[in-house]
Amino acid sequence: MIVKAASHPAAHPYVASLLAGSTAVAKSPAAWLDARRAAALERANALAVPTTRDEEWRFTDLTPLTKLQFQPVSAAGNVSAADIAAYAVTEAAVRLVFVDGIYAPTLSRRGALPAGITVELLEVAIKSHGALIEPHLAQLVNNDKDLFASLNTAFLQHGVFIHAAKNAALKAPIHLLFVVTRKGAAAYPRCLIVTDTGSEITVIEDYVALGGEAYLTNAVTEVVVAPNASVRHIKLQRESDQAFHIGTCAATLAKDARYLAHAVTFGARLSRNNLTVTQQGEGAHAQIDGIALIGGRQLADTHTLMDHTQPNGTCVQSHKTIVGGAGHAVFNGKVFVRPGAQLTDSSQQSRNLLLSDKAHVDTKPQLEIFADDVKCAHGATVGQLDAEHLFYLKSRGLPEAQARNLLTYAFGAEIIDRIPVPSLVAQLEKSVMARTEASV
Amino acid sequence: MSTVLDNLVSQPYKHGFVTDIESESAPKGLSEDTIRMISAKKNEPEWLLEFRLQAYRHWLTMTEPQWPNVHYPKIDFQAISYYAAPKPKLKKSMDEVDPELLKTFEKLGVPMHERAALAGVAVDVIFDSVSVTTTYKEKLAEVGIIFGSISDAVRDHPELVRKYMGSVVPVGDNYYAALNSAVFTDGSFCFIPKGVKCPMELSTYFRINTQDSGQFERTLIIAEEGAQVSYLEGCTAPKFDTNQLHAAVVELVALDNADIKYSTVQNWYAGDENGVGGIYNFVTKRGLCKGHNSKISWTQVETGSAITWKYPSCVLLGDNSIGEFYSVALTNHRQQADTGTKMIHIGKNTKSTIISKGISAGQSNNSYRGLVKIGPRAEGARNFSQCDSMLIGTQCGANTFPYIQVQNPTAKVEHEATTSKIGEDQLFYFQSRGIPTEEAVSMIINGFCKDVFQQLPMEFAVEATKLLGLKLEGSVG
C-alpha cells in the first residue's frame, strides 16, 4: 500500500524532487503513524529549502545540496563484515547496522540484553511496543518549520527503537552503525530512545561511508529521559567528504534526568547538526560536548538549543572546532531560560582553532534569559595555535610540524577524552592525529 | 526587598513637558512632494535634492527589518509629519531666541548661554527638526573647526558635506537609514581640520516637541589627519500617548591618526508603565576609521525610548585602527532594547573592544546584538568583547546575540557574557555595614556600569549615574 500523495504539490521544486520517493514508503500497521507521516509530507510540501536569508541558515548555504538529486534506494549495496571492521566498538552490547538506510541483519550483532532493555527495529517495535512509541515518535522534533525533520518523518520507515524499563541499566553501549555505499542515495534513519524512571543507557549513533560518494543522510533522533534516568548519547559523523549530512536530535528531560551528549564531526562536504534539549522537569542536568575537525572545502554547522523551562536545571556545554584548508565551521548555541526557571546554572563555551589562511569560523553563542535568579555565562574564542606554546615545544626539540600536531590534538582531545568508551576514543584519537597531520 | 527596588525603578519621567511654542509643521505624509517641499524650505542645492530622492526611491523598494528582537504595531509612515520647525524663524543671536525655548533647555539642564561658558561646552541644539542655536561657534572657528547645523554646513561648506555625506552610511544601507536620507531635516555637522585638537567638548541636544512628528536628524563628523574631538549628544522628548519615530543617521569619518570620541546619553520618553506612548528610536550610527592609526570610540548610556534599535559601529579600514564600544542599556516597564555594535575589521592589526552592560527591570526586554567580523586581509586583528546582563525582577528578559565571523587565522577574538542579579548576600553585606537597601542597590548598579561610565566625560558621567538612579527608582527588589 502506498501513502497517498499530498493534496497539493510541493511549493519548491527541489523539495518535490526529494519527496518523489516518498510514495514508496510502505503503509504502517499503525494508523496514527500513517497520519503523522501524511501530516509531515503535507508540511514538507509547504516548506522551501532554507537559504542564507533565513536566520537559522545564515552561514550555511545549501546550494551545493540542491544541485544534486537524492533518492532512497530499494536495495542496499554489498557490504562485508571486513568492510566495517574498522568501526567496531568492542565494548558494545549490541550492534545494529544499516546499509544505505536499510537494516543489514548479517552485519548486525544482537546478543542477550539485561532485563528491561529493548533494542528493536522501529518497524517491528511499532507492532510490539506501539503504546510506548506513540506518545513520542515525531512529537519531539519540530516538524512545523524544519524542512529536514519533516522530510525524515515523511519517509519514516527504517530505524531503531530503544527502551529502558524502570531502573534497568546497561553499562555497555548500544552501537547503531549507519553505512552508505551508493552515490545519489538518500537515507532517512530514525531513532527513538525512551527511558523509564531511574534507568541508564549509552547509545552510539555512528554515520560512516565506504568510498567517497555524494549522498544524503537526513537523520532524526528523539530522546525521552525519564525522572532520574540517565542517557549518554554519542553521535559520530564520519561520512564521506562528498556527502551531505543533516542530523536533528531532540531530547526532553524530566525531573532530575541526566542527558550527556557527545557529538563528533569529521566528515561530510556539508553537515548540519541540530540538537534541542528541553528540560521539562526540575533539576535536570545536561552536558553537551561537541568537536568538529574539518579541512578541505568542508562545512560543519552545529546548532544547539538548551531550553530551561523549570527551576534548578544545570547545563554545561563546550563546543570546539578545528578548521584547516578552506573549511568553514559554524556554531550557533542558544541557551533559553524561560520565566520561572529560577536557579538555572547554564554555561556555554565555543572555542575555535583556525589552522590556515582560508579557513573560517562563524560562531554565535546566544543567551535569552527571562528569569532573574540564574547563573548563565557564555564565552567564545577564535584564534590560532599559541606562538608561545609552539616555541616551548620547539625548544624541547620537537620539529615545527610535530609541535603543531601535538597542540592541535591536545585542543581536541579534551572533548574526545570525555567519551567513556575506550575503543572508540582510540579510534577517534587515531583519526584526529591523521587529520591534523594532513592539514598542516 | 522587592518594594524598595520597585520604588527605585519607577521614577516619573522628568523631561516629559511640552513646550508651548508655535511651530510650523509640514502636513502629514510622505511623497516625493514632501521631500521637494523640505528641500525647498531649506533652500538646498540640486544635488542634495537628488540625494534625497534617490534615497526615497530606494526606500520604497525596501521592507522593514524583522530580525530585531522587538515587537510593535506596524508604523504608518503616512501618519507622520516629516518637518516641524519652531516658529517664528530664529534670528542669529542667542538673545533673540524664543524665551520659551530657552526655558525648555533650562528645565532640561542643558548648559547653554552663560552656563555653556561655565561648563566649557559648545552646544548645538536641535528642536524637533531644526537646529535652534549653536554656542561658541566663533571661538571654534578661530582654530578652523566648523561646528553647527548641517543645514548651515550645506549652505556654507557644500563641498565637504557632499564629499562625506552618505560615504559611511550609503542611502540604501537599511530601511530607516534610507528613510532618514530622504527626509532628514537637520542635525549637527562638525569638521576638525588637520592636526587640530578640539579645545572643548562639543555637544548636541536633541528634543522632539511636537506630537505626531518624527525626528530625522543627520550628524556628520569629520576628523582630518591627526585631529581629535570629543562629541556629546543628549536626547529628550515630551510625554505623549502616541508613539513618535526617531530615525537618525550619524556618520563619523576619521582620517590618518585622527581620534573621535562620541558619547550619547539617550533619555527619550519611554512611554508609561503600561507601555503607552514613547519614542521608537531606530538609529543608524557608524564610524569609518579610514586612515592608519585612527580611532573611533562610542560610549552610550541608553535609558529612554519605548523601543531602541541601535548599533553604533566601526569600520576599521585603516591599518592599526581602533574601534571601541562602551554601552549601558537600561530598560524598565515595557521598554524594549535591541542594541549593540558591529566591529568590521578590514585593515591589518586593527583592534576593537566591546563592553556592554544591560540592565533589565519591570517587564522589559533587553538584547545585546553584536557582530565582530574579521576580514581575510585583517592580519593580527584583535577583539575583546564582554557583555554582562543584570536582571531585576522576574518578568524581564535579557538576551545576548553575538555574531562572530572570522576569516583570518592570525586574528584573536574573545567573547564573554554573564548574567547576574543583585544578590541577597550582596545586599545583606551592605545592610550589615549600615547602608540602606536603596543606596546599596544604586551602588551595586553603579559598580556594574563602572567600566562604561569611566569612558564618559565628567559631567556626563555624573548625569548618567543620576539618570540611572532615577530610572531605576522603584524597580529593584
Sign of dihedral through CA atoms A51, A57, A60, A66? Answer: negative
pLDDT digits (tens, 9 = 90+) for B79-112: 877 776 655 443 344 455 556 656 655 655 554 4
Does B401 contact chain A (CB < 8 Å)? yes
C-alpha to C-alpha distance for A204 and B363, rounded to whole angstroms: 44
For B412, the closest of A355, A366, A383 (CB atoms) is: A383
* CB spacing of B408 vs A357 below 8 angstroms: yes
ipTM: 0.78
pLDDT, residue B357, reads 92
pLDDT digits (tens, 9 = 90+) for B390-447: 888 888 889 889 999 999 989 999 998 888 888 788 889 999 999 988 888 888 888 8
Using a CB-CB cut-off of 8 Å, the residues of chain B touching A380 are 402, 404, 413-415
pLDDT digits (tens, 9 = 90+) for A400-417: 988 988 899 999 999 999
pLDDT digits (tens, 9 = 90+) for B211-228: 556 678 889 999 999 999
* CB spacing of B404 vs A362 below 8 angstroms: yes
Cell numbers standing for residue A224: 525521552
* CB spacing of A383 vs B411 below 8 angstroms: yes
pLDDT, residue A87, reads 93
Does B65 contact chain A (CB < 8 Å)? no
- Angle CA B370–B371–B374, to nearest 5: 155
Nearest to B260 by CA among B309, B318, B179: B318
Query: Which amino acid is present at B347?
Result: G
Which residues make Cβ contacts (< 8 Å) with residue A141, sequence separation at least 6? A149, A153, A220, A222, A248, A250, A276
- Angle CA A115–A116–A120, to nearest 5: 105
Longest dimension (CA), chain B: 69
pLDDT digits (tens, 9 = 90+) for A289-335: 999 999 999 999 999 999 999 999 999 999 999 999 999 999 999 99
Q: Which of A88-97, A211-220, B145-154 has the lowest mean pLDDT?
A: B145-154
Residue B114 confidence class, pLDDT cut points 50, 70, 90: very low
C-alpha to C-alpha distance for B154 and B42, rounded to whole angstroms: 10
Does B28 contact chain A (CB < 8 Å)? no
Residue B377 confidence class, pLDDT cut points 50, 70, 90: very high
Interface probe, candidates A56, A353, A372, A407, chain B, greatest B C-beta count within 10 A: A372
Using a CB-CB cut-off of 8 Å, the residues of chain B touching A362 are 403-406
* CB spacing of B404 vs A364 below 8 angstroms: yes
C-alpha to C-alpha distance for A107 and A351, rounded to whole angstroms: 38
Q: Which of A47-56, B162-171, B323-332, B449-458 has the lowest mean pLDDT?
A: B449-458
Tell me the pairing of strands B201-207 and B121-127: parallel
pLDDT, residue B91, reads 39
CB-based burial label for A85 (10 Å; 0-12, 13-18, 19+): exposed
C-alpha to C-alpha distance for A115 and A169, rounded to whole angstroms: 9
Q: Which of A201-210, A381-390, B69-78, B151-160 has the highest mean pLDDT?
A: A201-210
Q: What is the DSSP letter of B89?
A: P
Nearest to A57 by CA among A303, A290, A289: A303
pLDDT, residue B421, reads 82
Q: Which of A362-366, B367-371, B441-445 has the lowest mean pLDDT?
A: B441-445
For B417, the closest of A355, A370, A378 (CB atoms) is: A378
* CB spacing of B402 vs A366 below 8 angstroms: yes
Q: What is the mean pLDDT of residues A114-124?
A: 94
Chain A, nearest residue to B419 by Cα = A376
pTM over 0.90: no
Chain A, nearest residue to B416 by Cα = A379
Residue A142 confidence class, pLDDT cut points 50, 70, 90: confident
Question: Would you call the peptide bond into B88 cis, given omega within 30 degrees of 0 as the criterion?
Answer: yes
Q: What distance lies between CA A79 and its chain's CA centroid?
A: 24
Q: What distance lies between CA B319 and its chain's CA centroid?
A: 27
Average pLDDT, chain A: 91
Interface probe, candidates B2, B332, B365, B404, chain A, greatest A C-beta count within 10 A: B404
Sign of dihedral through CA atoms A182, A290, B368, B410? Answer: negative
Does A371 contact chain B (CB < 8 Å)? yes
pLDDT digits (tens, 9 = 90+) for B121-156: 556 666 655 555 566 677 788 888 888 888 888 888
Chain A closest CA to B428's CA: distance in Å? 16
